[in-house]
Structure 1
Amino acid sequence: MRPMADIDVIGGGLAGSEAAWQLAQSGHHVRLHEMRPVRSTAAHKTDGLAELVCSNSFRSDDAQNNAVGLLHAELRDLGSLIMSCADRHQVPAGGALAVDREGFSASVTEALHGHPNITITREEVLALPQTPAIVATGPLTSDALAADITRLTGTDRLAFFDAIAPIVYRESVDMDIAWFQSRYDKPGPGGSGADYLNCPMTKAEYDAFVDALLEAERVAFKEFEDTPYFDGCLPIEVMAERGRETLRYGPMKPIGLTNAHKPDEKAYAVVQLRQDNALGTLYNMVGFQTKLRYGAQTDVFRLIPGLAEAEFARLGGLHRNTYIDSPRLLDATLRLRAAPNLRFAGQVTGCEGYVEASSTGLLAGLFAAAELDGRAMTPPPVTTAMGALLGHITGGHISAEEEGSPRSYQPMNVNFGLFPPVEPAKREGPARRGDKKARRKVAYTERARTDFAAWKPQDSRSKAA
């Protein structure tokens, strides 16, 4: 028998798993609620904790020049379970951190099941508790719980569409056409610089593909037809609608790639596939999230050179994401103002991305642990990646004049635009194009590291699995 819980965590996704881990590592007894497999969702396929339902990529791992890479570093520094498991189940992806999704989820599940301070309950939570709890139900919050959140907050829930990219069997890709290469030959964990499968297109092939994409039959969701898409995860057919060349400057850009079969011939567009599992048998189509009907997907995507005989382990799909108006509902430590016993974390707060969700889960866990201990804990400085993201979520960007204005809060990934401005160090000699921008990124990360080190809780007992 495990002791009575000090706090409940509702939702076993990335944020909930991280929050439960941080609380347990701080010595508190946690009851983690996950409704799967009792009740599944339109996007999940397993009952594993921290299941990745969209991409298998945690994006750039460059902590010197990229805001999400900086967030990776801060999570690791605080003993993140999610980052520890991601690092252990990494697959080749150039300069990005991508994982074997099944191995990653199994690792998180095993760590949480094995922790003596965590009890996992498989049930749907229908109403918010009166006792201390962290709500990390993600973008697919059940209707019953979403209705109770609406009742308590007095605001209508918000929603946006999110789409899933197809996964292809590696053996079905025609390697007489496709080739392995990372953009600009950027080396990944193995140092090869050849982590992606690339399928080239001529202008005629590209035009034919776009035409087919625009004409293909799509899934219709009339109930949510007015729901906006999140710009960071647009269906590929929606991108194509924004202009015929949009895809060439987005997921199908050819720059930094040389066709190994025809090195003197420049591709007009390139489709990239990224390894999705440790065995290297599955590859996902990068940026090809879609709401096309299944039959249309196979017809259209097999027009891509190299994928004429492609077999799909999973086709793309569409699901609705739900999030709350966090800047007006949450305080600086993610507590719900209307019910301070509750904290919210993860994508239900309106952050977008795996590591962003994990970051809010980690912070919610640390804030809750400190409160249970009777300790004060200040939020991380806004000059850090965690602090900048937290400021965006909890209203640091809303002025007094905007407080009563119509809602404009939208899901967002961490980016340097959320950080307070910083001036890069001056450079000796003549300036080069793009040099100041590159030096500014370094200035952001150097300031963040200094301020994060000064803030980091010195008595933190958080340790990775």
Structure 2
Amino acid sequence: MAQIQVIGGGLAGTEAAWQVAQAGIPVVLHEMRPVEMSPAHHSEELAELVCSNSFGAKNSDRAAGLLHAELRSLGSIIIATADKHEVPAGGALAVDRGVFSRELTETLAHHPLIDLRRGEITEIPKEGIVILTTGPLTSAALADDLQRFTGMDYMSFFDAASPIIVGESINQEVAFLASRYDKGEAAYLNCPLNQEEYLRFWQALCEAEQAEVKEFERENAKFFEGCLPIEELAQRGEDTMRYGPLKPVGLHDPRYPDEKPYGVVQLRQEDKAGQLWNMVGFQTNLRWGEQKRVFRLIPGLENADFVRMGVMHRNTFINSPQLLKNTLQFEHRETVLAAGQLVGTEGYTAAAAGGWLAGTNAARLLSGEPPLTMPETTMMGALFNFITSASPKHFQPMPPNFGIIPPLEKRVRSKRERYGFYRDRALADLEDWKRNFSRFQLINAS
């Protein structure tokens, strides 16, 4: 039987390969690591989580949470594994990232229909059904071939990862466990700063030395506004961080119950044992020595032991509005599909969603069935519709959000109620859509 090839073993590629195999079709999953490593990855595991261990808000009346719910309904292996290895994170779905990736690697490697091959693919196969899920760090050779394949230049933006700190090195006489407004379990370690401490930290951050970004990386690249380096936020003004990741609202320092912190640095649990903590919103391109010096100015982190420093790298994505159908097929060669950050969806869950659709449609193409499009009222459908119909001139990566979903028939002023209606409509429409599947589709989505 003919095989489908998936190139790239990140979240999208892992999901895509699994969905093809679940349809009873052999699949070859190509992953270049560890033969060739990327600038940001640290292991050879499939679906390695590079920037954070969080999949975003859990509640289904939030954009990320709705996407979680849709993928659970569709049998996503990524979300099922995330649910299995969840760690406390307040209202977010966060995972023990090492265990999460190892289990996915072992599951796929031992599946009888999945052939996991290690090594770099430098060209898009000329024949057969292919799914490209190489992500924002596509190797140079394959990127050159993809440029030839599409006939246009890449678009680029910078992304960055936050430092991770050993929990025992955090001064918990200063840092306190709490979630904002006491919602959910007390899942974040909070390092409060008074005005003097904040201004000293802000000044040091503004003056800190950044790592060199090579000219070829900087050319035509932009920061993605949803993942700005902390030093970029600091440069935008004295109070910018206080309205972003260091906002003090909803948090109270138990040492000074009558005083409101001027700013708060939050750390999110990275593993189930609580041994590692991720600095929330602290993506950075500072030199590693500067990171240690500046971040240790934060009260509670004076003796922080960093197990991973923040890093920054160039992400790339194709101009999907000019290149892709909302089935995630390329317009000029329909047997080639793409998914993940490569196509301009932003975030782990969106990558898994793209992998689900690309894998499902690749299996359908090989079975002689028409490819699927998702209902636009679902978060998945809204994302794929956006990236394939946005203005090509101004196209930028898009995370899940309710702003891209078609409006309700009746206006609802309350944002919370409106989002609840969006959720109810999306999940109802998804169930109706699934009932229209053929027998093959129902098996794939169960």
Matched ranges for 1:24-423 at <5 A: 24-63=21-60, 65-130=61-126, 131-187=128-184, 193-221=185-213, 222-226=215-219, 227-395=221-389, 397-398=390-391, 407-423=393-409
How far apart, in 2, do the equivalents of 1:325 and 1:387 lie?
18
> Matched residue of 1:270: which SS?
strand
Quick check: 2:130–2:335 contact (8 Å CA) kept in 1? Answer: yes
Aligned to 2:416: 438
Deviation sequence 1:231-280 (CA, Å, 0-9, x none): 11100000111111110011011111111222222100000000001221
In the alignment, the residues of structure 2 paired with residue 166 and residue 462 of structure 1 have an alpha-carbon distance, to the nearest angstrom, of 39
TM-score (norm 2): 0.96
**1:377, distance to aligned residue in structure 2 (A):** 3.9
Structural RMSD (CA):
1.4
1:461: how far off? 2.2
The structural deviation recorded for 1:462 is 3.4
Structure 1 contact 335–341 (Cα < 8 Å) conserved: yes
Q: 1:288 & 1:9 partners in 2: Cα distance?
A: 33
The residue identity in structure 2 corresponding to 1:212 is A
Q: Shift of the alpha carbon at 1:338?
A: 2.3
Q: In percent, how many aligned pairs have the same letter?
A: 52
Give the counterpart letter for 2:399 in structure 1.
Answer: N
Give 3-state SS (helix, strand or coil) of 1:340's partner: coil
Confirm or deny: 8 A CA contact 1:86 1:99 kept in the other structure.
yes
Query: Helix, strand or coil for the counterpart of 2:278?
Result: strand
Q: Deviations over 1:201-246 (max 9, x none)?
A: 0011111111000000001213233410111110000011111111
Q: Distance in 2 between matches of 1:60 and 1:453?
A: 22
- SS state of the match for residue 461, structure 1? helix
TM-superposed CA distance for 1:378, in Å, is 3.1
Name the SS for the 1:224 alignment partner: helix
Stretch moving more, 366-375 or 222-231:
222-231
Query: Amino acid of the residue matched to residue 197 of structure 1?
Result: L
Cα deviations across residues 395-430 of structure 1 (Å, max 9, x unaligned)?
2x34xxxxxxx621101101011111115577xxxx
Q: Count residues with an aligned counterpart.
A: 439
In the other structure, the counterpart of 1:451 is: 429
Point out where structure 1 has 5 or more consecutive residues left out of the alignment. Answer: 188-192, 399-405, 427-434
Question: For residues 85 and 168 of structure 1, what CA distance do their matches in structure 2 show?
Answer: 25
| Contact 1:134 1:364 survives alignment (8 Å) | yes
CA–CA separation in structure 2 for the residues paired with 1:461 and 1:454? 16
1:214 maps to a residue whose letter is C
Using the TM superposition, give the Cα deviation of residue 335 of structure 1 relative to its aligned residue in structure 2, in angstroms. 0.9
1:360 Cα offset (Å): 0.4
Q: Secondary structure of the equivalent of 1:407?
A: helix
SS at match of 1:151: helix
Deviates more, 1:328-337 or 1:162-171: 328-337
Structure 1 runs (4+) greater than 3 angstroms displaced: 423-426
SS state of the match for residue 334, structure 1?
coil
> Are 1:5 and 1:31, in contact at CA under 8 Å, matched by a contact in 2?
no
2:96–2:272 contact (8 Å) kept in structure 1: yes
**Does the 8 A contact of 2:335 with 2:362 survive in 1?**
no
1:5 to partner: Cα distance: 5.1
